[in-house]
Amino acid sequence: MIKKILETKGYSTIPLKKTKSQHLVGVFEVNDLEGLFLIDTGASNSCIRLDMESEFSLIAKESSMELSGAGNEKLNAKPTAKSRITYKGGFIMKLKFFMLDMTSINKSLADQGSENIDGILGADFLKRTNALIDYKSKKLFLKV
């Protein structure tokens, strides 16, 4: 029912998958390469694994900065030029990512039986796409 209402308002529907760690993830393309992205309403910025810079054809900026995680941990991040995000070939938007080492994040997910992620789509992406998440049906609704 919600899907029909939102589609009449111009929203696109993207199916998500719930991981064993209870996170929601979706498959998106960044610069034409498919990756698995965790949907994180608590993350201010969208991020991509540092070791995937060349695979995603990211253009890193010269400077780096410290970002804060949920704990006291400081994460060294490199901003990128805007990249193209699509879903099944349909353009969603251009977005600047922060590249960071996600080894500890992926280790934590693996310890809980979940697969590795390539990145995180955070509040910057969710706000700009007027995102709505239906947790019950595991769907992400975007209006772009």
At 102 the pLDDT is 94
* Average model confidence (pLDDT) across the chain: 91
- Which of 39-48, 52-61, 69-78 is predicted least confidently? 69-78
Q: Grade residue 69 by pLDDT with cuts at 50, 70 and 90.
A: low
Q: How far apart are the first and last CA of the chain?
A: 21
Residue 109 and residue 82: Cα distance in Å, rounded?
27
Mean pLDDT score, 67-88: 78
- 94 has which bridge partners? 84
Share of the chain above pLDDT 90, in %: 82
Instruction: Name the band, by pLDDT with cuts 50, 70 and 90, for residue 68.
Output: low
| CATH-assigned architecture of domain 2-142 | Beta Barrel (2.40)
